[in-house]
Amino acid sequence: MPKADNAEAAGLRVVVLGGTGFLGRRIGEAFTADGALVHLVSRSPERDGTAGPRSVGIDLLTAGPRELTEFFGSVRPDVVVNAAGRAWRADEAEMTAGNADLVARVTESLVRLPHVPRLIQLGTVHEYGAGTPGAGTSEDQEPAPVTPYGRTKLLGTRIVLRAAAEHGLDGVVLRLANVIGAGAPAGSLFGMVAAHLGEAARAQSLGEKPDELRLPPLRAHRDIVDAHDAVDAVRAAATAPGTELGGQVVNIGRGEAVPMQELIHRMVELSGVDLPVVESVADQPGRNDAQWLQLDVSRARRLLRWQPRRTLDASLRDLLTAALPTPVNGRK
Torsion of CA 250, 34, 254, 78, to 10 degrees: -10
Question: Reduced to 3 states, what is the DSSP secondary structure of residue 34?
Answer: coil
CA distance 327 to 332: 5
Distance of CA 188 to the CA centre of its chain: 12
Measure the CA–CA gap between 151 and 236, rounded to whole angstroms: 27
Say what the alpha-carbon torsion angle 237, 243, 247, 251 is, to the nearest 10 degrees: -40
Do 108 and 134 form a contact (C-beta atoms < 8 A)?
A: no
The DSSP secondary structure of 128-178, one letter per residue, reads T-S--TTSPBPTTSPP---SHHHHHHHHHHHHHHHHHHHH--EEEEEEE-E
In the annotation, is 149 catalytic? yes
Alpha helices in the chain (DSSP H): 22-33, 65-75, 92-96, 102-110, 148-167, 189-205, 227-239, 242-245, 260-271, 298-303, 312-323
Tell me which of 22, 72, 128, 149 is the catalytic residue: 149
**Cβ atoms of 74 and 54 closer than 8 Å:** no
Return all residues near 257 (Cβ < 8 A) that are at least 6 apart: 131, 133, 221, 222, 223, 292, 293, 294
> Cα 138 to the chain's mean position, in Å?
19
Length of the chain: 332
Q: Which residues are catalytic?
A: 149
